[in-house]
Every structure is written in structure tokens, then in C-alpha cells.
Amino acid sequence: MRVGVVGLKRGLHLAVWCRRVGIDVAAVCDRTAERRAAARDEFPQAFVAVRWEELLERRLDAVLLANDFDAHAPLALAFLERGVHVLSETAACVDLAEGRELIAVAERSSATYSFAENYVAHPHVRLLRQAVDAGELGRISLIEADYLHGMAPSAVTDLTGDPAHWRGRIAPTAYCTHTVSPVLALTGAWPVEVTAFPADLAGPRSAVVMAVRLSSGALALTRHGFLQGEPDSHWSWLSVRGTRALAESVRAPGERAWSVRVRTEAWAAPDGRTREEERTPPALVLDGAGPAGEQVERADEGTVLILQALRDTVERGAPPLVGVRQAVAASLVGVAGAESLRDGSRPVPLPDFSGEVPDRRGV
């Protein structure tokens, strides 16, 4: 399988993992010379492009989009129209019109759209999913997800202070996909209404809390941005409260942050005794392609799994791990959240993404 990669910071990391899982990186693209040079060092055989449109002319099975956060949809549309499979980093669209078009084009394309949402495949999220799928928790009532960085104020300014860079120009709600995508994956539900709050009015762009009503009737609370107390599980922490038990990431430093605590009260336990259990995710070991038997770093497990899922989709027709509708839904939570923020934390309804092409309610 031959892929091209657009945007060579996160994209170069993805490309290196492609090689390790046995995917051929045939073309790379970045508009900056420095990033192209770094990619050329890693992949001397690859075609190197300045403009992403050049990759449309190459013989590629798939393209990985890791360009600016708020500019993925036009590229995704162009490659899907050419019959090239797309794995897109984690904003699918910037408004409803773009989201509708992306769904329509992806669903009529001979190729597929996958969202590069490694947070859905992180070790702790997979453990939570096992508990949910096994029915241990009952129906999910409340689900919380954090994606938090505890950086120094000067480092936050360095990262987000340039209004010309996507990190400086996107709405504070926009980068909600690393919290909302796991919520949608764990619940199997769709977002129907979003209310967003700045965490602290003294720094309203730093971090946001969103209350997202889900189609299942459950409530999701998401927190993302820059707040102290970052989780060592790649900045991600989740908690799932069901009608019969709770399962949540362990709040602990280091390796234990990837573990999950499951709490069942006596009334719900088969033996009538309160049960408190801590589960450790099994190691992920690369098999087949790549250096066999190599253990993957915890923080990269999600990345490896989304790349392996892309290969299964392209080569074997498996459904995308996170498909276009979930990608658009998660991204539009951030768009609706921005509208809510602008309007004094008013609840903003979202269209129905479940089957029909979304209508124009809400955003």
C-alpha cells in the first residue's frame, strides 16, 4: 500500500509509523523547505512536493492529511474525488456546509474517509470500551473526557500566540475532537446539543468545558485546553458512569495513568459485595510487517492502530475505525461550541448525523 503525506510535522511522525507497520511512504509534501528536508532525510526514495495538488497526479492508494487543523476538508474532497483513500487529522471540517459536502463526497466516492483519531484507540479508551461492550456498566448516563495540557504560561503563548498560525486562529472549542471522538465511540451516540463555557473568564481562550447532550439521552462533559494537572495518558482522561457501574482512567502519574478503575456497588455486584478493580492494558506488539515482536510505546498505540485500521480499510474493505459522519459530528461540536461561547453559553442544537445528510438546524 502506497501513501502520500501532506504536512510534515505530525505527518512525519505518522509517516515514520507507516514504515514501521509496513506501509510504503511514496510521496511527502510540505510548503516549508525545512520540513521537506527533514522528510527527505527519512524517506530518500519518496517523491517530494511543495504543493499538495502534485500528489493528485501520483499513483497513491491513500493520503494522510496532517496540514493545518482548519484546512483539511478541501484536500480530503479532492483526493476522494480522485478515488484516493483519505486518513485525515483531527478536524474534519470548519462549518456545516463543509461537513455536509464531505459526507456526501465520501459516501459516493470509490475511496473511503477515515478520521485519524488516535484518541479513540489509546490503551485506556480500549479498556473502557471492553467494559462498555461487555455490558458491565449498564446504560451510560454520564461520560466525561479531558484533553489537558499543564504547560507554563510562556509555553502556551509560544504555541498559540501567533494569530496567523492555526493554533492561534482556531476557536477555543475547536480542538475538542480528542475528547468528543472517544465519547462518540464509547457511547455509539451522536451529539444533539452543545453548551460551552470558558473554564476561567480571566483567560477565556485557555480552556473550555462543554456539556454535550447525546442522542442516547446521556450527558457528556468535556474539558480541553490548558489547565494544570495534565494526565500522563497522552493528556487524556475519561470517566464513564453507567446505570450499573463506573469505569474511569486512574488518576495517577506515569504508567498507571493508562489503567482503568472499575467500581461496582454491592447492589449491582453478582456476589453482593462492592467490587473495586484496576485493569492494566496489555502491551501492543507489532506483528507481521515491521520488526516483529516490537513493543509499541503506550502513547503511540493509538497511532499504530489507526494506521493498521487504514490498511484494513484500503486493502480488505473493513469499515473505517472512525468514519466520516463521526468525524464531522465531532468537529461540528467544536463549531457549535464556538457559537455557544459567542452567545453567553447558550445551548446550540446540532443536526442529525446518524443517517441522512445533515439538515441546516443549529450551527
Ligand X SMILES: NC(=O)c1ccc[n+]([C@@H]2O[C@H](COP(=O)([O-])OP(=O)(O)OC[C@H]3O[C@@H](n4cnc5c(N)ncnc54)[C@H](O)[C@@H]3O)[C@@H](O)[C@H]2O)c1
How many residues belong to the chain?
363
Task: Return the range that interacts with ligand X (CB under 6 A); candidates 65-73, 97-105, 121-129, 140-148.
Answer: 65-73
CA–CA distance, 3 with 19 (Å, rounded to integer)? 10
Residue number with CB closer to ligand X (27 or 218):
27
- Report the site for ligand X in 221-260 (rule: CB under 6 A): none
Task: Return the range that interacts with ligand X (CB under 6 A); candidates 24-32, 211-219, 283-291, 319-327.
Answer: 24-32
CA–CA distance, 300 with 310 (Å, rounded to integer)? 16
42 counts as binding ligand X under rule CB under 6 A: no
Helix (H) or strand (E) holding 348: strand 348-349
Number of residues engaging ligand X in binding (CB under 6 A): 20
Minimum separation from the CB atom of position 265 to ligand X (A): 36
301 counts as binding ligand X under rule CB under 6 A: no
96, 116, 84, 5: which is closest to 52 by C-alpha? 5
Minimum separation from the CB atom of position 30 to ligand X (A): 4
- The identity of residue 45, as a single letter, is Q
- Report the site for ligand X in 108-127 (rule: CB under 6 A): 116, 118
303, 298, 300, 223: which is closest to 256 by C-alpha? 298
Task: Return the range that interacts with ligand X (CB under 6 A); candidates 63-71, 181-189, 222-230, 256-264.
Answer: 63-71
CB 166 within 8 A of CB 309: no
Task: Return the range that interacts with ligand X (CB under 6 A); candidates 5-13, 138-146, 268-276, 332-340.
Answer: 5-13
| E strand intervals along 215-337 | 219-226, 236-242, 246-249, 260-264, 275-279, 285-286, 294-295
79 counts as binding ligand X under rule CB under 6 A: no
Could you tell me the three cell numbers for 235?
493528556
Task: Return the range that interacts with ligand X (CB under 6 A); candidates 39-47, 86-94, 100-108, 329-337.
Answer: 86-94
CA–CA distance, 333 with 337 (Å, rounded to integer)? 6
Could you tell me the three cell numbers for 110?
470509490
67 counts as binding ligand X under rule CB under 6 A: yes
Could you tell me the three cell numbers for 39?
522528510
311 counts as binding ligand X under rule CB under 6 A: no
Residue number with CB closer to ligand X (54 or 352):
54
Residues 6+ apart with CB under 8 A from 32: none
181 counts as binding ligand X under rule CB under 6 A: no
Residue number with CB closer to ligand X (9 or 139):
9
35 counts as binding ligand X under rule CB under 6 A: yes
Interface ranges with ligand X (CB under 6 A):
6-10, 29-32, 35, 52, 66-69, 89-91, 116, 118
